Homo-oligomer: A and B are copies of this chain.
Amino acid sequence: MNISEVAQASGLPAKTIRYYEEIDLVRPARGANGYRDFSEQDAHKLTFLGRSRSLGFSIEECRTLLSLYEDRERASADVKSVAAVHLDRIAEKIEELQALKATLETLVHSCHGDGRPDCPILDDLAGTKAACA
C-alpha cells in the first residue's frame, strides 16, 4: 500500500502521514524503490490517529493512546484518564470562550455601529471609560 492509498483509507493527507512518520507515530516499511509501503496495521494506526486528532487529542496524547491501543494488557483506567483530562480541558476552554463571548456581545450591542466615530468598543479596549456592565 503506497502513501496515497493509505491516505485515502485513513482520511489523512499524505503530507500529514509523512509528518507522522517523521515524529515516529508510524514506521512504514520501504520498497526497493524507496517508496513507503504501508501494512494494514499501519493503515489502522493512521485511522486511529485521525480519529483521535479529530477529537482534539494532542499529538503526545495520541502517542499515549496509540501505545495503549497496541498494548493488549493495558488497563482501561489508563485510557479513561487520558480522555478525562482532555474532557476537562475542553470544558474549561468552553467556559473561557463563553465568558469572552458574553463580553464581546455586550460590547457589540453597545456600539451603535453607524458613521459616527464614537465607539464604546474602542473605549473598552483603550480602558478609557468603564465598560458597560
A: which residues have CB within 8 A of B? 44, 47-48, 51-52, 55-56, 65, 68-69, 71-77, 79-81, 83-84, 86-87, 90-91, 93-94, 97-98, 100-101, 103-105, 107-108, 111-119, 121-122, 124-127
Contact = CB atoms under 8 A, between A and B. Distances in A.
- 5 A-B pairs with the lowest CB-CB distances in the bound complex, closest first: A80-B113, A76-B119, A77-B113, A80-B111, A87-B104
A87 to B, nearest CB: 5
A117 B52 contact: no
Contacts of A48: 125-127
B119 A74 contact: yes
Contacts of A91: 101
B108 A72 contact: no
B125 A76 contact: no
Interface centre among A52, A74, A119 (most CB of B within 10 A): A119
A98 to B, nearest CB: 6
A81 B80 CA distance: 43
A93 B100 CA distance: 12
